[in-house]
Amino acid sequence: MNVPPKQLQVRPAMAGERRAVADLWIKTGLTTAYNDPDVDFEFAHEKPASTVLVGLLGGKIIASVMIGHDGHRGWLYYVSVDPDEQKAGHGAAIVAAGENWLKQRGVRKVLLLIRDTNTVVESFYKRIGYETIPRIVMQKWLEQK
């Protein structure tokens, strides 16, 4: 008899969950020396143009996505699923929740960036309908790190 996969419950993160979400981002290798996950969570949490959604199984945060938009394009950041819970559809579910958050705000296009050191996830995103676009991404720090 096949056991159906556990349903991921998705909702906005609460302020008190900052540490659990940041720990998930660290555990999944999404953080860098120049991005403080605690600061990023606080910056995006429940603002008009951004938020953090969490996915729970049995009351435990096992997935997350940080979402933001500029009124034209939406962005997904820190898409994460606990390594012990991967390959069960939770990544697609948390991405879909992020996309729905953007759709509810009238945003018609969503983008995401993959670090060149994290190419293993490229096939996942292609499976759920994302495509590579030829672009040059440039940056400038407004504050010195």
Domains of the chain: 9-127 (3.40.630.30)
pLDDT at 126: 93
Angle at 114 between CA 109 and CA 117, to 5 degrees: 175
User: What is the model's pLDDT at position 139?
Assistant: 85
The H or E element that residue 99 is part of is helix 90-103
Reduced to 3 states (helix: H, G, I; strand: E, B; else coil), residue 78 is strand
SS3 state at 70: coil
At 117, the pLDDT band (50, 70, 90 cuts) reads confident
Query: At residue 88, does pLDDT exceed 90?
Result: yes
Q: Write down the pTM of the prediction.
A: 0.90
Instruction: Please report which confidence band the pLDDT of residue 3 belongs to, taking 50, 70 and 90 as the band edges.
Output: very low
Contacts of 91 (CB under 8 A, 6+ apart): 63, 79, 81, 124, 128
